[in-house]
Structure formats: structure tokens, C-alpha cells
Amino acid sequence: MSKQFYDDDAFYVEQKKYGLWQSHYPDDKGIVTSLTEEECVRATRFILQGLQEGWNDDTITYNGTVGGKL
């Protein structure tokens, strides 16, 4: 199974057992496992962009408790 490098050798993807696709850093550390090559590349780019630029801090929190007596 050959390695296919993307984005100036920032990561590569390869097909694994049972038809799954996995992305890796150049040092062979795994990043993402997906069902298709396209989804693997897309998810890996999303993760690497988030790690490089920082994740969005506009998070919404929810409270799961119910106020009042039942």
C-alpha cells in the first residue's frame, strides 16, 4: 500500500486493512482514520488547521439540569 503525501508533505494517507484510510504525520504518528480517502484528507486538513491557527473560542455551553421541583 503506497503512501500519498499532501500539502507539501505535511501528512500522508494510506489505505489500511478492511479498506479504511488513515492519515499520518511524516514521522508515522497517526492522525485520522476514515472510511474514504476524501474524508480522511478533509478531516486531516481540518485538524491540522485547527492545531495551527487555534480552535474557535466561541463555544456554547449547555446546562443539563432541570430547575424546580417535580
- Give the separation between CA 58 and CA 29, rounded to whole angstroms: 30
- Tens of pLDDT along 7-16? 778 899 999 9
Average pLDDT over residues 9-36: 92
The domain in which residue 27 lies consists of 1-34
Residue 69 domain-assigned? no
The total of structural domains in the chain comes to 1
Average pLDDT over residues 27-54: 92
Residue 45 domain-assigned? no
More confident residue, 30 or 58: 30
- Give the separation between CA 23 and CA 49, rounded to whole angstroms: 15
Average pLDDT over residues 13-34: 93
Residue 58 domain-assigned? no
Residue 28 domain-assigned? yes
Residue 4 domain-assigned? yes
Residue 6 domain-assigned? yes
Model-wide pTM > 0.75? no
34, HSE (Cβ side, Cα atoms, 13 Å): 16
Residue 41 domain-assigned? no
The C-alpha angle with vertex 41 and arms to 10 and 11, in degrees rounded to 5, equals 15
Residue 23 domain-assigned? yes
